[in-house]
Amino acid sequence: MENKVNSVCGSCSQYNIKGLKKLGVNISNFDFVVAIAGNPNTGKSTVFNALTGLRQHTGNWPGKTVVRAEGAFEYDGQKFKLVDLPGTYSLLSTSQDEEVARNFILFGKPDVTVIVVDASRLERNLNLVLQILEITNKAVLCLNLMDEANRNNIKIEIRTLARDLGIPVVPTSARFKEGIPELIQTINDVATGKIICKSYRIKNVNGNIDKAIKKLSDEIEKEIPTISNSRWIAFRLLEGDNRIINALRTGELV
């Protein structure tokens, strides 16, 4: 399996980055876990397929990937396991898809979370991005569908965006395999700690609520000093998320 996929891809020039092996579903003894999250219909599965060499079906239609799909690739001698999470608009609601995505990012503690967004609908997609960044700062923004954005005269200042979010931003057109080598390189750099991301915290929270969140997250930090996402935990506690309450009780968050 390994050799076959490798030799097939050896012929395509864009794959010829040094030390890349697409491992398909061949997952064992991986060194890093990479989660792929994003809104529906942003080409998330296409990115997943481009990274793993798999051919999962992707439709122009929200809601294809309901079950969690997994794949892998090897880069620079390190094995990366990829988990394709269901496409969601948000992580704050109660639908099953959102629960799967939310719980994986929080409890699965992926080494890197790749957030795939539609470059021509950045504002809408940032809703999910900012929520994920409250949970983890080990993330890469994959600015996908750049071809569509260019066609519609939408320009994005990559560096400004990266600075504002505190995470690396990689423009791609996964359908045409553009930007994938850079994406892999960046995933590797974040996973191995070559790139250190900053934490982003949502600013526009209404005064009263902000105070409550501050109070609660201070308490949480006092109890669990190692925690990096106490604010997110506070959000969820205020929403009455039973999964989080249980996790606190069982010590799963330490």
Restricted to residues 28-47, the positions that interact with other proteins (CB under 8 A) are: 40-41
175 binds other proteins per the rule CB under 8 A: yes
Nearest distance from C-beta of residue 126 to other proteins, angstroms: 4
Identify which of residues 76 and 223 has a Cβ nearer to other proteins in the complex.
Answer: 223
Q: How far apart are CA 147 and CA 149, in angstroms?
A: 5
Distance of CA 213 to the CA centre of its chain: 25
11 binds other proteins per the rule CB under 8 A: no
Identify which of residues 42 and 185 has a Cβ nearer to other proteins in the complex.
Answer: 42
Q: Which bin fits 252, alpha (ψ -120 to 50), beta or left (φ > 0)?
A: alpha
Binding test (CB under 8 A) with other proteins, winner from 17, 59, 199, 252: 59
Q: How far apart are CA 70 and CA 42, in angstroms?
A: 18
237 binds other proteins per the rule CB under 8 A: yes
14 binds other proteins per the rule CB under 8 A: no
Helices (H), 88-151: 96-107, 122-135, 146-151
Q: How far apart are CA 145 and CA 175, in angstroms?
A: 8
Is residue 35 helix, strand or coil?
strand
Binding test (CB under 8 A) with other proteins, winner from 76, 219, 228, 252: 219
Structure tokens at 205: 């929270």
Nearest distance from C-beta of residue 148 to other proteins, angstroms: 7
Q: How far apart are CA 44 and CA 36, in angstroms?
A: 7
208 binds other proteins per the rule CB under 8 A: yes
Nearest distance from C-beta of residue 29 to other proteins, angstroms: 27
Give the pairing type, strands 32-38 and 112-118: parallel
Q: How far apart are CA 126 and CA 197, in angstroms?
A: 17
Binding test (CB under 8 A) with other proteins, winner from 30, 64, 177, 182: 64
CB neighbours (10 Å) of residue 74?
18
User: With CB under 8 A as the contact rule, which of the stretches 16-24, 68-76, 116-124, 177-185 interacts with other proteins?
Assistant: 116-124
Residue among 86, 84, 200, 193 at smallest CA distance from 133: 200
Q: How far apart are CA 153 and CA 46, in angstroms?
A: 23
9 binds other proteins per the rule CB under 8 A: no
89 binds other proteins per the rule CB under 8 A: yes
Q: Which positions lie near other proteins, rule CB under 8 A?
A: 40-41, 55-64, 66, 89-90, 92-95, 97, 120-124, 126-127, 129-131, 148, 151-158, 160-161, 164-165, 175, 202-206, 208-209, 212, 215-216, 219-220, 223-224, 234-235, 237-240, 242, 245, 248-249, 251, 254
